[in-house]
Amino acid sequence: DYTWTEYHELNDTQRWMQNLVAKYPDVVSVFVAGRSYEGRELLGLKINHQNGRAGKQSIFLEAGMHAREWIGPATATYFANELLTSQQPQIINLARSYVWYILPHANPDGYVYTHKTNRMWRKTRSPQGNNCIGTDPNRNWDFHWREVGASSDPCSESYAGPKAFSEPEVESLSQYLTSLQEPMFMYLSLHSFSQLLLYPYGHTSTLPKNHKELEQIFNAAVGAMKRRYGTRYTGGNVYDAIYPAAGSSMDWVYGVLNVKYSFCYELRPSGYSFWTGFRLPASQIIPTGQETTDSLVEMIKAAAQIE
């Protein structure tokens, strides 16, 4: 059985998703948002309660863009399971009020590589110049591409790629996001680590137009994150809160698709240790899933109140 007491390989999670369709045929379907360089499906879950009201908006949750950040996919699947099984009225309500798209593995080739060969791999697996492999998929989106905080060196961990949307994962996911029928209410990107909640932009310190609203939502989300286990998050706009970084999915969705609420979580742990930061013990998957669910519930409530 699929549990949240250990990290899973890609195939396990893809099988789990297919099994959910069989278990909840009226509510769950899978979607394929394209294919990776090595031909793997970008497989996600669509959760849509037919008995919800008509004209629902969507919320898209993306994780696993960076291969070694294993807590992202684990939290995405934890949250999907909550949407499907929780008895809490708030979560039942959330599940019914939106059309949910949950993509646990935006970079499946990289994830497989972290299991088989190099636990610390970050990028995609497409061959680039100078005998180096991979592009940083979170620098490859076509919005102020490569302007700052992105490298033109194919061997760099933040290589932006030879051009915007050079990576099949990123190009096809962008196409898929553009093609969705329901208006998108919110876009969420799960990364790790540092315990930060981030909003646009990465390419400039100029705050986005609705930054007052984003800050209000930020405060609600960070407050809820702390409630259960005292977990402290900081953050703000990417450029000031961490570092300049152009070409992320969050900024593209905000800037090009005009989705007003676009956020990125840098999940547990806190601190700076590169060696331990990506190796969050599996015993912390459930607590991370619980507090992040708390945070998402309050975040979406706060955003819905603004409307």
Active site members: 266
> Binds 238, which of ligand 0X9, Zn ion, none (CB < 5 to 8 A, cut-off by type)?
ligand 0X9
Pairing of strands 99-103, 58-63: parallel
How many residues touch ligand 0X9 (CB under 6 A)? 15
Figure out which of the listed residues 191, 203, 260, 268 binds Zn ion, where binding follows CB under 5 A. 191
Site for ligand 0X9 in 259-278 (CB under 6 A): 264, 266
Which residue in the set 91, 94, 198, 220 belongs to the binding site for ligand 0X9 (CB under 6 A)? 198
Q: Which of residues 226-245 bind ligand 0X9 (CB under 6 A)?
A: 238, 242, 245
Question: Are residues 218 and 262 in contact, defined by beta-carbon separation less than 8 angstroms?
Answer: no
Of 114, 189, 195, 295, the one binding ligand 0X9 (CB under 6 A) is 189
Closest CA to 206 of 174, 251, 263, 165: 251
| Nearest CB to Zn ion, comparing residues 110 and 168 | 110
Interface residue with ligand 0X9 among 128, 138, 174, 293 (CB under 6 A) is 138
**Scanning residues 105 to 124, which ones bind ligand 0X9 (CB under 6 A)?**
none
Complete edge-to-edge strand list for the sheet that includes strand 28-35: 28-35, 41-47, 99-103, 58-63, 184-192, 261-267, 196-199, 234-237
- Residue closer to ligand 0X9 by CB (options 83, 198) is 198
CA distance 283 to 277: 14
Structure tokens at 120: 């610390």
What SS3 string covers 135-155? CCHHHCCCCCCCCCCCECCCC
- Contacts with Zn ion, 55-74, as mask; x by CB under 5 A: -----------x--x-----
Q: Helix, strand, coil shares of the chain as percentages rounded to 5? A: 40, 20, 45
Q: Which is nearer to ligand 0X9, 169 or 251 (CB)?
A: 251
Footprint (CB under 5 A) of Zn ion, residues 198-237? none
The C-alpha angle 195, 197, 203, rounded to 5 degrees, equals: 120
Q: What is the contact surface with Zn ion in residues (CB under 5 A)?
A: 66, 69, 191
